[in-house]
Amino acid sequence: MSNQQKSSFKVDPRIAEILGESYRSSEQALKELVDNAWDADATKVQIKLPDPMTVDPIIITDNGSGMTAPEVESEYLHIGRNRRTLRGERTKKLNRLVKGQKGIGKFAGMMVADQMVLSTVARGIRSSFQLRKSELLISNRDLEDYEIIVQTSTEGAVEAGTTIELRDLNQNLSFPNPEKMRALLIREYGRESDIEIVINGQTIGVEDIPGASFEHVIPLDSGGTVKLKFTVAEGKRNVRDSGIAIRADGKVIGRPQMLGLNENELIPKNLIGKVYGEAELEGVDLDCVTADNGGFVENHVAFQEMTQKLATIVTKGLEETRGAEMRAAKARYQKTINQKLEKLPEYKRQFANRALERVLQRFYFEDEEKFGSIISVVLDALEYEPYWQVVQKLDNAKFGEVEALAEALIEFGIADLSVVGRQAQYRNRVLDDFQRLIDNPKTVEADVHRVLEANLWLLDIHGKLISSNETLKRVIESYLDGKYKGDRANRRPDLLIAHDMADNTTVIELKRPNHTLDRDDEAQAIKYRDDLQNSLQKIHILLIGKGKVTAMNSVNERENITILSYAELIAIARKRVMWLIRELKLAE
């Protein structure tokens, strides 16, 4: 018995927004249809892709819940129907997290083909209809007037599910590529244990991740074997749910295992994120699995042995892959490397090659531009480093004649001037950037503190070499921890401590760059000095902020207290740098 009825699209008010969306590729569009099968609680999806240059259709079949004719009309043909709003976040039967949201996935196949034929079975009733994109487009904005004939027939005990055929494929697009399709779906569904996806007769698996694949059978001393299959994915992006999933009796136990590789400092973290694989236990003592199958008993002998052996094999695979990728990366820049190496003295080239190998191991997975820049910086540093040749001569002259040693020391002095000159020029640029930091209203004390602590040369306001001192710092922190705790903890002052060659101690109180200093700030700094007097000697206070209020006349400044604005600090440092540059030029 069969009959037919007329139906039409039910247009959602968001239609203008929805129809503006598109898919990046044919494979991405077809994946949308697989997502629909997932939402229908399908446990098996079969995809038949035609051979190129044939007129065969694309066929996607699933054994999901299917649809009745009323469901086809009220749900499938309702454009923009939000599946999650109507039925919730999870599927009814298998409690899966729903993928479909906007109700337009049904039209994904129309990107690849002009005609879509849908046949679905639910509760012994088959419902089917067909759409032609070319006819649909003619309807333009009057989609509600486009008639769809839904045919129904009684099928009896036929298994529920849905089949979609896509015919008259778009000739402006390349045929969907089975390898690309498999790679796309394995990333999304590879870790799902309750769905099988078959493409052209082959179930997708670990080997479908693009990259170097490895397969091993590992015998365990504690009994049984582990069948390991894993791939180190190509490209720069990590794979979803990376690691080794371990199965026992067909079920995945817990989350994918990283096997301790993420704690191995010799393996780049980006590389670990590319490992994707499965290990199947056969004849292994399952006492190592927790009762809820949610993980492993970590101190079980079988688990420890298995983890160790898996880690060893995966590490070898990573090293092999890394070596191949490093060689490929190095090959892309070999011409540049060779040109740079030719400029180096012979004794430097061997060291340069070793240095490059270390750089390649760490950075080869970066993008092309950054990787090339890193190589150039390393080689330029080796080419222009003025100490190289001089230190070599010093080593050779140490046990030679006095004249040779004197000549080498003279050369070292000339090279040293060159280094100091470049350092002075760089410091001038740093002062420009520090000024920008100070001028930014968002800059806080902590930002300035970190900069000054790492660049104590900025604080040499009296021409004395100031350095940080951990012992003095601990004295200050001990005092602060005792005085500023409980409700007063958030009022803890921002202090930086340093000392000079004469063992004078400088306690530096920093304020935010937009804070104008007043007598209260001065009094607080003096209190710090008084409290620290028993632990430290010769204490000088350096108070730095935006400036000082007009009432703070320099005539009334306290002894051993210097009050500076950040502008003055930068000006003093810049004057010192410019003097050094002028002196070096006179010495040339």
**The domain spanning residue 82 has which CATH number?**
3.30.565.10
Asked if residue 368 and residue 462 are part of one domain, the reply reads no
* Domain assignment present for 539: yes
* Domain assignment present for 223: yes
Q: Rounded to an integer, what distance in angstroms lies between the CA atom of residue 27 and that of residue 480?
A: 63
* Domain assignment present for 426: no
Query: CA-based angle 247:253:257, to the nearest 5?
Result: 90
**Residue 396 pLDDT > 80, yes or no?**
no
Asked if residue 345 and residue 291 are part of one domain, the reply reads no
Tell me the backbone φ, ψ of residue 264, rounded to 5 degrees.
-85, 110
Q: How many other C-beta atoms are found inside a 10 Å radius of the C-beta of residue 335?
A: 9
Q: For residue 176, give both structure tokens.
A: 């969907």
Contacts of residues 351-356 at CB distance under 8 Å and 24 or more positions apart, as own/partner, are 351/382, 352/378, 352/379, 352/382, 355/382, 356/330
Asked if residue 311 and residue 175 are part of one domain, the reply reads no
Q: What is the pLDDT of residue 51?
A: 86
Asked if residue 192 and residue 45 are part of one domain, the reply reads yes
Per-residue confidence band for 567, with pLDDT thresholds at 50, 70 and 90: very high
**Residue 14 pLDDT > 50, yes or no?**
no
Q: What is the pLDDT of residue 12?
A: 46
For the chain, how long is the longest CA-to-CA vector? 114
Please, what is the angle between helix 346-363 and helix 301-332, to 10°?
Answer: 130
Please, what is the angle between helix 334-343 and helix 346-363, to 10°?
Answer: 150
Of 269, 295, 321, the residue that ends a domain is: 321
Q: For residue 201, give both structure tokens.
A: 């007769």
* Domain assignment present for 392: no
* Domain assignment present for 353: yes
* Domain assignment present for 477: yes
Q: What is the pLDDT of residue 128?
A: 92
Q: What is the 3-state secondary structure (H, E, C) of 413-454?
A: HHHHHHHHHHHHHHHHHHHHHHHHHHHCCCCCHHHHHHHHHH
Q: Residues in the chain, how many?
A: 588
* Domain assignment present for 567: yes
Nearest CA-CA partner of 229 in 251, 212, 213: 213
Asked if residue 342 and residue 316 are part of one domain, the reply reads no
Asked if residue 136 and residue 224 are part of one domain, the reply reads no
Q: Rounded to an integer, what distance in angstroms lies between the CA atom of residue 166 and that of residue 58?
A: 5
CATH code of the domain in which 499 resides: 3.40.1350
Spatial strand order of the sheet with 113-122 comes to 2-8, 147-154, 125-132, 113-122, 161-169, 58-62, 44-48, 196-199, 202-203
Q: Does an H or E element contain 53, and which? A: none
| Higher-scoring residue by pLDDT: 180, 467 | 180
Taken in order 432, 435, 440, 444, is the CA torsion positive or negative? positive
Residue 240: partners with Cβ closer than 8 Å, 6 or more residues away: 187, 188, 191
For residue range 195-215, what is the model confidence (pLDDT) as tens digits?
Answer: 899 999 999 888 888 888 899
Kindly state the average pLDDT of the residues 335-356.
71
Asked if residue 77 and residue 193 are part of one domain, the reply reads yes
Task: Name the one residue in this structure whose structure tokens are 């060779």.
Answer: 338
Q: Lowest-pLDDT range, 137-141, 173-177, 219-223?
A: 137-141
Asked if residue 78 and residue 140 are part of one domain, the reply reads yes
Asked if residue 111 and residue 253 are part of one domain, the reply reads no
For residue range 460-508, what is the model confidence (pLDDT) as tens digits?
Answer: 766 666 777 666 667 677 766 666 565 655 555 566 777 777 777 888 8
Residue 141: partners with Cβ closer than 8 Å, 6 or more residues away: none
**Residue 72 pLDDT > 70, yes or no?**
yes
Number of domains in the chain: 4
**Residue 287 pLDDT > 70, yes or no?**
yes
Of 155, 182, 199, the residue that ends a domain is: 199
* Domain assignment present for 587: no
Q: Rounded to an integer, what distance in angstroms lies between the CA atom of residue 190 and that of residue 205?
A: 7
In 190-300, which residue ranges form alpha helices assigned H by DSSP? 269-272
Q: Give the β-pairing of 275-282 and 243-248.
A: parallel
Asked if residue 456 and residue 376 are part of one domain, the reply reads no
**Residue 16 pLDDT > 50, yes or no?**
no
Per-residue confidence band for 566, with pLDDT thresholds at 50, 70 and 90: very high
Domain that holds residue 556: 441-580
Report the mean per-residue pLDDT for the chain: 78
Query: CA-based angle 42:45:50, to the nearest 5?
Result: 155
Residue 150 β-bridge partners: 5
Q: What is the pLDDT of residue 126?
A: 92
Residue 122: partners with Cβ closer than 8 Å, 6 or more residues away: 65, 66, 67, 68, 71, 160
For residue range 501-521, what is the model confidence (pLDDT) as tens digits?
Answer: 777 788 888 888 999 998 888
Asked if residue 15 and residue 129 are part of one domain, the reply reads yes
The SS3 of residue 239 is coil
Of 301, 321, 341, the residue that ends a domain is: 321
Nearest CA-CA partner of 505 in 482, 476, 484, 477: 476
Asked if residue 117 and residue 27 are part of one domain, the reply reads yes
